[in-house]
Amino acid sequence: MIRHSLLALALTSVALPALAQEINIYSHRQPELIQPLVDAFTAETGIKVNVAFVDKGMAERLVAEGDRSPADLVLTVDIARLKQIVDAGVTQPVQSDVLEANIPETLRDANDHWFGLTARARIVYAAKDRVQPGEVTTYEDLASEKWRGRICIRSGLNDYNVALVSAVIAHHGEEAAKTWLEGVKANLARKPEGGDRDQVMAIAAGQCDIGIGNTYYIGQMLANPEQQAAAEAVNVVFPTFENGGAHLNISGIAMTKSAPNKDNALRLMEWLSADAAQKIYAETNHEFPVKPGVEASPLVTSWGEFTPDTKSLTELSDLRDEALKLIEEVNFDG
């Protein structure tokens, strides 16, 4: 009895090392876009966040790592990429009253595997000196002959454009979407190339009159002295579908099946959906907050109001294969 008491006393007198408080993220998002969020979360909680930028093959990497994966969370852009990771069987459902309260039902998975954190609209960049106000109306109108030789766009196989084509299919069916793609292709001023910023640069250089891209790139270009003049040469226009609203996509998050730091990972997910993080997204990344009541930045607000499309993001992700097939059938990039 005395011997056991002495042993217990000895153990309690030894200072055991504290367990590391950390979270590991695999991210499709550029590191500079999420660093302000990481820094703010760590400052508030003391929990270290390690971010590994994984440009391609995230689902394959998680499958290969299996239960040994160090990743707690995946952070990505585009609903199709989120669904691809979920379909690979490497995520787990997350039940959280906080996430359900902060994120609208249309912007999270019905089975709680993924959650949208920010929204971005797929819009038209229009030359201020060559496109009249009201001349751009609908996505369907982009196939009109009045735009012949006037449109710039990045590769049709880019995730953002695939999602847009999926939305066209959701609204009008495959045959009409194929006809629309053929019309847009006929209206291109040049072969699809570059990124969304490059379309703005081409408009400023007079190579085309309108381009298709995401809203937040204009904010990023206005903050870049070398790109500011090009961004100031275009207007931001929110087209709608004839029977709907402006096409939205998201950045989102999911918890991995392995998640060695599950409790901390959930804490970060909930924090990213709350006011402080949503404001950082709005001010730093020029994106639309998903939490109701959190306002967009003054710059984003200055672009005008719009009505978001109500088509389910899950429906659009389910149409990805059909969209890819049509893009290849019309040889859009050729």
Q: Tell me the pLDDT tens digit for each residue of 232-262.
A: 999 999 999 999 999 999 999 999 999 999 9
Each domain of the chain, given as residue ranges in start order, spans: 21-119+248-295, 121-247+307-329
Task: Taking the CA atoms of 98, 276, 292 and 134 in sequence, report the sign of the dihedral they define.
Answer: negative
How far is 156 from 168, CA to CA, in rounded Å?
13
Q: Which two tokens stand for residue 70?
A: 């160090």
| CATH 3.40.190.10, applies to 121-247+307-329 | yes
Q: Which of 279, 302, 119 shows the shortest CA–CA distance to 222? A: 302
Res. 18: pLDDT tops 80: no
* Residue 20: per-residue pLDDT: 60
117 Cβ partners below 8 Å, 6+ apart? 75, 103, 250, 251, 252, 253, 272, 273, 277, 281, 290
**Per-residue model confidence as pLDDT tens digits over 34-47:** 899 999 999 999 99
Look at the domain 21-119+248-295 and name its fold: D-Maltodextrin-Binding Protein; domain 2 (3.40.190)
pTM, entire model: 0.87
